[in-house]
Chains A and B, each alone.
Chain A
């Protein structure tokens, strides 16, 4: 089979443009082959995504505990276990990010087992890079299966898909970083969100983040919410992180 790289590349480029305008995602690559992991990292960063790369199942589980990924690419043959077990474990932990399985196992029955274990798509190695890009873009366009795009706290509703915030039903325009910050804090409402997690959600590894960038964004968001009459408190725990709570929770 010979692939038409030209046509695939053009399709992928169109997908990329659409995706780039929508959002840049955080992607976890779980692959022990350094050549393939390096290639995936370069390509995904080239599409504007933030990429974390690990080579072991155990590290993958730790990474998914610390970060909220929009997509996870999993190689099946990992040094410390089978990627299928990793996907099953992630699903058991309610990690609902789409999973693209990557494998050199080429039999149809391998693909069937992979998909029935909780993977969303399957890419057989060796792969053509334009096809990989297209599959990544397609998976990132899919709505999350379990997580609602809308999160409500007190009289504030954040719609991550529509990129809209309302307070008492009235739209509140926020700059993108503040919107991302509010969406993250609202999703983790009543829980402390470490500063590092916020940095990772708002900025890529290569972004230049000044010491007080997060504080500045929090301060602006707090003012905007207050001015709009939001019945929430954005609490600061110095040295730990931030927490968004409804004012009724604060009273209790």
Chain B
């Protein structure tokens, strides 16, 4: 499985100097939580796919790896359970609670 790169703390700071990606993660966390409730799988798949591509690039490695795992499962037509989504939300919570920790 593709894994997210692990940039240094210094590189992390430069990647999201204005904090806009972190703000996006906050918005994604809320949106994914809401979509988990409504069960809109199509929109959920789009969000997970985008997160799989972007999170690791910006140094949020655990979030990125989790999203990649779910994205691969969506692509393969497999099932993504409420537990899976709870794990992704947990990774997002942890990353946002402790910036840079997931890298």
- A residues near B (Cβ < 8 Å) are 1-3, 5-6, 9, 33, 35-36, 38-39, 77, 103-104, 106, 124-129, 131
Contacts and interface: CB of A to CB of B under 8 A. Distances in A.
Given A33-B50, A39-B15, A126-B55, A3 B5 contact: yes
A208 to B, nearest CB: 24
Contact of B5 (A6, A39, A128): A128
B7 A5 contact: yes
B54 A77 contact: no
A125 B6 contact: no
Given A39-B15, A77-B49, A104-B71, A33 B54 contact: yes
Task: Specify the main secondary structure of chain A where it touches its partner.
Answer: mixed
Contacts of B68: 106, 126
A2 B53 contact: no
A68 to B, nearest CB: 29
Contacts of B71: 104
Nearest to B49: A104
Interface in B8-48: 8, 11, 15, 20-21, 24
B33 to A, nearest CB: 20
A35 B53 CA distance: 10
B6 A5 contact: yes
6 contacts: A36-B53, A38-B20, A106-B1, A106-B72, A125-B57, A128-B57
B5 A5 contact: yes
Q: Which 5 A-B pairs have the closest CB atoms?
A: A126-B56, A125-B53, A104-B53, A128-B5, A126-B57
A35 B64 CA distance: 14
A5 B4 contact: no
Interface string B80-98: 0000000000000000000
B79 interface: no
